[in-house]
Structure 1
Amino acid sequence: MINKMFDTSDFLKKALDGSSLRHAAISNNIANVNTPGYKRVTVEFENLLKDELEKNKLRLNTTNAKHIGGNLGNTPYSTIRTHNNIAVRRDGNSVNIDVEIAERAKNEIYYNAISRQISRQFDAINSVINEGGR
């Protein structure tokens, strides 16, 4: 059971890492909104996490009918993509500030939700440790 909790925590950490990388990319896009020739950068990770999770479901090891095991491994979970073929303005810049601000807000909501989930995960572990010590 404890392994499953840590596997979940590892998965959530990878989601936080991807969201953090996305935030950096969005911030860089916003910082370069007036840079001629700058090409917008995006970070994709949700589908990669989902695919890896689905693949691992097929390779789970079990020692008992009621136990579920598995490991997410060390596969990279983020893809950084530069949008070279799109230009929003004449100077070749492909950043649309309205899109970037909306994406930043969406990413912040996602990051906060994952942070709350991992916090609850650690609260549960802490509760088990504290209750077990009595």
Structure 2
Amino acid sequence: MGIFGGTIENLERGLNFSTMKQKTIAQNIANVDTPNYKAKSVSFNDYLENAKKTSISAYRTEEKHINFQASSSSSAVFDYSNLRYSSNGNGVDMDKEQANLATNQLYYNALVDRMSGKLNTLQTVIKGGS
């Protein structure tokens, strides 16, 4: 467990998820006019399960060293193969994608603010409270 009880690691996972979701939404928007393109989404539960399975712990020479983990990028992206919003077989609903984009941006910004607060706390502790 890390210095903040795993908080930073969980925030990192959340940021990685949000980044993957942002890329998926951007891909959907970019392909809004592509015939037979099926919209994609990211499942948070699948992403979290894959992240738990694929994490690698670092070797620590002393027990007091901070434990960190690096996880490989796991795919939790799926497509909506049965949806069609236009006559050319495209499955992208632009209004839904824009709403998802705004929601994901708020989620990402909240995680960045929380991470910044944790790191500022750590910096204050390192400096001795001054």
Q: TM-score, normalised by structure 2?
A: 0.75
Corresponding position: 1:98 with 2:92: no
Aligned partners of 1:119 and 1:78: how far apart in 2? 27
- Are 2:119 and 1:122 equivalent residues in the alignment? yes
Match of 1:12 in 2: 11
Kept after mapping to 2: 8 A contact 1:40/1:82:
yes
Deviations along 1:5-35, one digit per CA (max 9) or x if unpaired, are 1621111011001001100100110010000
Which residue in the other structure is 1:113 paired with?
110
Amino acid at match of 1:113: A
- The 5 Å alignment of 1:77-92 reads 79-92=76-89
**Distance in 2 separating the partners of 1:82 and 1:42:** 6
Q: Does residue 26 of structure 1 match 2:25?
A: yes
Q: Given the two structures, how large is their TM-score scaled by the length of structure 1?
A: 0.73
CA distance in 1, matches of 2:92, 2:14: 25
Unaligned runs of 5+ in 2: 53-67
Give the match's secondary structure for 2:41.
strand
Cα deviation digits, residues 68-87 of structure 1 (max 9, x gap): xxx98858776111111111
Question: Which SS does the other structure have where 2:128 is aligned?
Answer: helix
Query: How many angstroms apart in 1 are the aligned matches of 2:115 and 2:45?
Result: 17
Report the Cα distance in structure 1 between the residues aligned to 2:4 and 2:48, rounded to whole angstroms.
17
Q: Which has the higher contact order (CA 8 A, sep 6+)?
A: 1
Equivalent position SS for 1:5: coil
Count, aligned residues: 115
- Structure 1 position 49, deviation (Å): 3.9
Aligned residue in 1 for 2:35:
36
Q: Please tell me the residue identity of whatever aligns with 1:90.
A: S
Q: In 2, Cα distance between the equivalents of 1:94 and 1:13?
A: 31
Q: RMSD between aligned alpha carbons? A: 2.8
